[in-house]
Structure 1
């Protein structure tokens, strides 16, 4: 313990320390006990001086010094008990002995030292009490005289009465104090653990919200980018042939209108799902942060399981690109199977985004779409040749946000698949993905 300065009390506010005392009332208590003990020892020092043939002032001064040692009981409890044992033959310091034994038993001194000093105090008190009781019996006139058992019995009762109660009370108070400290430390530890759990729950909720926003952004990108890209391609073709071939211009205008309506329909469906979820959250009671992550994950799974594009729609997807003037070849290997909704939707989106990138960056290039149904997985590959700068769509000016490949990779990896993309030796570009037919829930990063 520090000798000076300040510390925090039970309420957490700074409190001044007084030497080795933690609180002011401890100073008052110990100083008061020291004064009472010094006064007691001073009175007992008069009798000690008479028996030892010493001057009375010397006995009084000796008693004051011995009794004042009790002030040090919190700092040096062993020294206080040793002084009380040493002064036991002088028949002084009874208060100091009782309080010293209590303080020693209640302190953090090892139990073997406490037991040793308590035994020494008991033995010293027993010897002095035995001699004093025997002297009193011999000097008194008893009728009849007490038996031989009287002196040791009285000496034993008095010595045990002066030694055992303070030791037992000190052991109880010390054990209770240590228990309270242990409970307080455990409460602080639990509070820290709860704080960590709350922080972790907040992190999981934030992760779930981020994942949900990313998923919605991917869906919006896939829907808008593909449909609008085809609309821009058809609009460019319409502009090129409007005067030369009115019939073809009318056909392209109709295709642009159909694609625009399809894009609006898909957007309305997605916004309807979002608004339905928002209305449910407004009508429901507030939920803890720990449940947000699970709710968002469940919403994502439910959204993935809704009616959406599947592998069966790839033929129509390829047909739309052909109508836009792209030369696309579709090859399907293996026997078609029914996969999980999220697998079907991810496979469709990969092919869709790859075709959209061809419209944007490789106008006029020939495209090969391969779809392979294997024993425990489904694989897809979209490969285009070198772009044709003279193609009808070369001047369409389609913008690119740079998120297409990133979104495809995130989709495939989230399902435990493999995604590879990169340029080919012939100057084209290849996108390949493999998805397992059984999908497990991805772990949070």
Structure 2
């Protein structure tokens, strides 16, 4: 039987760390160690590993940075982060980036035994049923089940998939579900947020560049297309892509080859394309903002995800899942919700969809003082639920621009400064959000 291979990245050289490594080796693991994030990443790139355990405060590249880069090159490789004194924010960020677990040091023998058991039973591999392992689609809604089956049926083809839906409906999770149910699942899943990068950088990020192609190009750089070769490339928020760049993307879809910026010869790529948008793409085409021929190339398999407001039957299931998730993550013992709290969840419009729902449940788990989440812990802002409409008399009159500014800063505060998630909540593009923030900064500088 082939031995499992573990990469243990930690600059701790204490006897306790040595003992942990010994336990893994005695359990049949081949253990490779790295004392910094950069050498750990090099090991991952050139070798095959069944699990990576990495310290959060690694030198050169820290644990979160290592996790992010591992998920770009080997998305299905399980990663567990460990730390002596990390807080809730670090743990939440790690899980959002795809960590399989986040453990507090020192690791006990019991923790190690659990890790060994998880790896032996397939930690990070695809689950049966309606999940791809880490990227679960939690649903009992018939329309969602139909879309999941459709996604699974086409997963192993080369056909491009176009996923449309409101912000927070789970478009990226669907994309990962398709990847992990395909024969490409052991190769890279590369996600590109087309709205998060300035137009001047997006071309280089996608296609790569040659040394000397422009000022600052001191070496050849592979683009996302080459990084996703033999795997899947997700073009997230593709409706935000510059119109001129869309024509170059169309050529890649047609010819299956790219031209690096400053390159002389085309480079062949074998990539499965998945695109997403939260906008009405037909309107974008009519307004001349999106190429119709590119739309038809991408829209071979269309998936339109329903908003949470039309799948209320999933709310109790999602509540149970997220309560369990954040109880485990934050070491809480919440058992569920009161009837009144559940009734409130069922009545809310959920304009931010599952992402908004998850944020509220996470906050409620942290604020809950008993076994059950009640109204007070569910809605801590003035004792009022997000679905309730405040009386006009309770709102002070403010200039519209000031109201807009307050709402934007509240969204940024809610998402811990994550501009992409804040833009999703606000229903605007990252580019629009960036322009608004630059406008506020300029105004403050002039005052």
Q: Which has the higher helix share?
A: 1
TM-score (norm 1): 0.23
TM-score (norm 2): 0.23
Higher relative contact order (CA 8 A, sep 6+): 2
Q: Point out the structure with max Rg over C-alpha.
A: 1
